[in-house]
Amino acid sequence: MGLEAVSGTDARRLLLGPDSPVRSHYEDLAGRLLSLGGIRSLVVTSPEPGAGRTSVCVGLAGAVAGMGRRVGLVDCNLGDPRLHRMLGEPNFVGLTSGLEGDMPLEHYGYEVAPGLLVVPAGPVPPDPVSRLEHEKLVAAVRSLEQGRDLVIVDGPVAGGVLSSPNLSEGFDGVLLVVHASRTPKSLARETIDDLLEAGTNLLGVVLNGCT
């Protein structure tokens, strides 16, 4: 069953359940990521839509939480938010609500597993791209680092990250998701070059959809 062809309970079971067939793979990813050291927040992006950013975000967050750590997961893909759909949750409030409101961002999220706080995108504004440049965005998201070991940002595609200084420079690193059969090699190479040339701290690549 496809990890993102499902949503709600099925997605939670596949990505967050202790008996998930992909759990060990996400635990490996989490272990390597945490072993890099000094990474408290990271943006997950991909060269193109369809690589599986959101499922990797959820699976990675679940694996880190499963290690007994506290994790925050924020949907910053304001142009096409998917995190709430994958988890089968509403999107009445979320990141955009936190940017406009006075309360800490964690008040607009919910726990989907012990130690795993999810903040959906919230109501999508008419100009989602410009909202990524909100002056409070980085501070609001990074405020989740308080009391948490890792904050994962489900970002837009790499072009959106590169065009947003908040996303490309505001967090500790960038994780690139490529799909084993869908992502063109040339596009993946170009994306890595562009990210590095832009000065982002590219942590590495996640190969999604391996056979």
Q: Which is nearer to other proteins, 24 or 146 (CB)?
A: 24
Shortest reach from residue 75's CB to other proteins, in Å: 10
Q: Which is nearer to other proteins, 54 or 164 (CB)?
A: 54
Q: Which is nearer to other proteins, 22 or 67 (CB)?
A: 22
Rounded distance between C-alpha atoms, residue 68 and residue 75, angstroms:
22
How long a stretch of residues is the chain? 211
By the 10 Å C-beta count (0-12 exposed, 13-18 middle, 19+ buried), 210 is classed as exposed
Rounded distance between C-alpha atoms, residue 115 and residue 192, angstroms:
32
* Residue of the chain from 21, 90, 147, 159 that contacts other proteins (CB under 8 A): 21
Q: Which is nearer to other proteins, 25 or 136 (CB)?
A: 25
* Site membership for other proteins, residue 127 (CB under 8 A): no
Shortest reach from residue 198's CB to other proteins, in Å: 12
* Site membership for other proteins, residue 3 (CB under 8 A): yes
Rounded distance between C-alpha atoms, residue 141 and residue 187, angstroms:
29
Q: Which residue has the tokens 């890792």?
A: 150
* Residue of the chain from 17, 22, 88, 149 that contacts other proteins (CB under 8 A): 22
Task: Please answer whether residues 187 and 179 qualify as being in contact, where contact means their C-beta atoms are separated by less than 8 angstroms.
Answer: no
> What region, left, alpha or beta, does residue 88 occupy, with left being phi > 0 and alpha being psi -120 to 50 degrees?
left
Rounded distance between C-alpha atoms, residue 5 and residue 11, angstroms:
9
* Residue of the chain from 16, 51, 61, 174 that contacts other proteins (CB under 8 A): 51
Q: Which is nearer to other proteins, 101 or 124 (CB)?
A: 124
* Residue of the chain from 12, 26, 152, 168 that contacts other proteins (CB under 8 A): 26
Q: What's the angle, vertex CA 165, arms to CA 51 and CA 41, rounded to 5?
A: 65
Q: How many chain residues are in contact with other proteins, going by CB under 8 A?
A: 56
* Site membership for other proteins, residue 8 (CB under 8 A): no
Shortest reach from residue 47's CB to other proteins, in Å: 10
* Site membership for other proteins, residue 42 (CB under 8 A): no
Pairing of strands 110-113, 116-119: antiparallel
Distance (Å) of CA 111 to CA 70, 108, 118, 131: 11, 11, 6, 25
Q: What residue ranges bind other proteins (CB under 8 A)?
A: 1-5, 14, 21-22, 25-26, 28-29, 32-33, 35-36, 49-56, 59-60, 77, 80, 82, 86, 175-176, 178-185, 188-190, 192-193, 196, 202-211
